[in-house]
């Protein structure tokens, strides 16, 4: 078989795997949109989505079902898909930058900084002049960006970013963030403590179309721009010196990865709270499925992360109905066993 034929066969395999992940995401969206106190048939969901883009279908949508879909279910499903994609892609970027499949977006401190910023709003009333729906995500986003900037500043030596120092700075800032969260938890009253606990465990309960529109730029840009980093990250697998010899601007790639991680995770935590294991487990699973090529890993992680969080949110709002389980608890219950399984496989 010629090199061109081998390349074409590999490309078909990659497209097939990405197509399978796309189908999984579509099925997750349809099932999640129809799941809840009011059960909506999958055919009705498909009909409503088709009507929205001007297609006619034989499946009619009742007015009450359409109201529930468009006002409650679909904003939540869309937000879950965007957040899941952003968390998974930023996880893949971190693992590519650190050349370690166990790397997580939280390593640079962005998640703990965002959580600390939001907690300060809840407990201390920071930004009380603004509506809570504005002050909370704004403080979370700014806290995440601030912690990431601090970690990067500590890691810069002579105009170059030392990856090991960046990792250690992130660990130190995470400790500071969690210490601050512990202090705020200690001084919070009962009402603040309930809100703080639920927010720190992650929730998509506040999803509305305006919230989706506000968060979308910060969630979509890292997913889209990550595509330009696929080849440089593949080269970094060989080592920084070898990548530089291949013409990769290593320092610019490092800064771009850190900036995209700060933007994506900061925006995600700002709108949904802390949701764990998506950025850690999903990229590893995609690598096992499709190989280490970042041209497949990055879009595959976006699709798989979106499908995972859409499904996890459907479970979170139905497993203990009428109560709602924090979605971060569900992703941890799914992600932790998967992570341990992957570790056991590496050990074997």
- With 0-12 CB in 10 A as exposed, 13-18 as middle and 19+ as buried, what is 304? buried
Contacts 24+ apart (CB under 8 A), 256-259: 256/225, 256/229, 257/93, 257/94, 257/96, 257/97, 257/229, 258/97, 258/108, 258/148, 258/152, 258/161, 258/166
What CATH number is associated with residue 212?
Answer: 1.10.3470.10
In sequence order, what DSSP letters do the residues of 222-257 get, joined into one string? HHHHGGGGHHHHHHHTT-HHHHHHTT--HHHHHHHH
Is 104 among the domain residues? yes
Q: Is the pLDDT of residue 25 over 70?
A: yes
Is 27 among the domain residues? no
CA dihedral 202, 284, 215, 326 (to 10 degrees): -10
Cα separation, 139 vs 134, whole angstroms = 9
Q: How confident is the model at residue 56 (pLDDT cuts 50, 70, 90)?
A: confident
Q: How confident is the model at residue 219 (pLDDT cuts 50, 70, 90)?
A: very high
Is 54 among the domain residues? no
Q: Is the pLDDT of residue 346 over 70?
A: no
Q: Is the pLDDT of residue 81 over 70?
A: yes
Contact assessment for residue 226 and residue 260, using Cβ atoms and an 8 Å cutoff:
yes
Longest dimension (CA), the chain: 70
Q: 71-85, 154-168, 173-187, 194-208 — which one is most confidently predicted on average?
A: 71-85
Is 96 among the domain residues? yes
User: Looking at the DSSP assignment, which residues form a beta bridge with residue 156?
Assistant: 161
Contact assessment for residue 129 and residue 172, using Cβ atoms and an 8 Å cutoff:
no
Cα separation, 72 vs 212, whole angstroms = 12
Q: How confident is the model at residue 241 (pLDDT cuts 50, 70, 90)?
A: confident
Contact assessment for residue 114 and residue 202, using Cβ atoms and an 8 Å cutoff:
no
pLDDT value, residue 311: 95
Q: Is the pLDDT of residue 10 over 80?
A: no
Is 158 among the domain residues? yes
H/E run at residue 21:
helix 3-34
Is 180 among the domain residues? yes
Domain range enclosing 109: 77-343
Q: Is the pLDDT of residue 6 over 90?
A: no
Cα separation, 149 vs 136, whole angstroms = 20
Q: Is the pLDDT of residue 77 over 90?
A: yes
pLDDT value, residue 50: 82
The more confident residue out of 165 and 61 is 165
Q: Is the pLDDT of residue 72 over 80?
A: yes
The tokens for 134 are: 């504005």
Distance of CA 144 to the CA centre of its chain: 14
Residues near 172 by Cβ (< 8 Å), separated by ≥ 6? none
Rounded mean pLDDT of the chain? 87
Whether the upstream peptide bond of residue 322 has omega within 30° of 0, thus cis, is yes
Domain count for the chain, please give it. 1
Is 297 among the domain residues? yes
Burial 63-82 (b: 16+ CB within 10 A, else e): eebbebbeebbbbbbbbbbb
Is 46 among the domain residues? no
For residue 208, the 8-state DSSP code is: -
The tokens for 112 are: 């703990």
């Amino acid at each position: 078989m010629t090199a061109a034929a081998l390349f074409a066969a590999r490309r078909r395999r990659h497209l097939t795997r990405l197509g399978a992940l796309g189908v999984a995401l579509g099925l997750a969206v349809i099932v999640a949109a129809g799941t809840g106190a009011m059960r909506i048939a999958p055919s009705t969901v498909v009909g409503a989505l088709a009507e929205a883009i001007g297609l006619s279908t034989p499946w009619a949508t009742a007015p009450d079902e359409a109201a529930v879909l468009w006002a409650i279910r679909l904003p939540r499903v869309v937000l879950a898909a965007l957040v899941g994609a952003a968390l998974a892609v930023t996880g893949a970027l971190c693992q590519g930058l650190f050349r370690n499949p166990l790397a997580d977006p939280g390593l640079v401190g962005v998640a703990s900084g965002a959580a600390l910023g939001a907690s300060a709003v809840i407990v201390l009333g920071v930004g009380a002049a603004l509506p809570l729906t504005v002050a909370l995500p704004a403080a979370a986003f700014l806290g995440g960006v601030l912690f990431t900037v601090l970690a990067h500043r500590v890691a810069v030596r002579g105009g170059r970013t030392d990856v090991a120092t960046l990792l250690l700075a992130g660990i130190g800032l995470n400790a500071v963030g969690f210490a601050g969260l512990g202090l705020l938890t200690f001084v919070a009253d009962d009402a603040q403590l309930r809100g703080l606990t639920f927010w720190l465990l992650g929730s998509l309960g506040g999803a509305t179309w305006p919230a989706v529109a506000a968060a979308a730029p910060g969630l979509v840009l890292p997913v889209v721009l990550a595509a330009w980093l696929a080849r440089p990250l593949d080269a970094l697998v060989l080592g920084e010196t070898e990548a530089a010899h291949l013409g990769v601007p290593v320092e610019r790639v490092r800064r771009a990865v850190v900036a995209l991680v700060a933007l994506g995770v900061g925006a995600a935590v700002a709108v949904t709270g802390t949701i764990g294991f998506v950025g850690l487990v999903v990229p590893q699973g995609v690598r096992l499925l499709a190989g280490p090529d970042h041209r497949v890993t990055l879009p595959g992680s976006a699709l798989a992360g979106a499908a995972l969080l859409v499904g996890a949110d459907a479970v979170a709002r139905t497993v203990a109905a009428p109560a709602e389980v924090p979605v971060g608890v569900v992703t941890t219950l799914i992600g932790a066993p998967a992570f341990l399984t992957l570790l056991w496989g590496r050990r074997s």
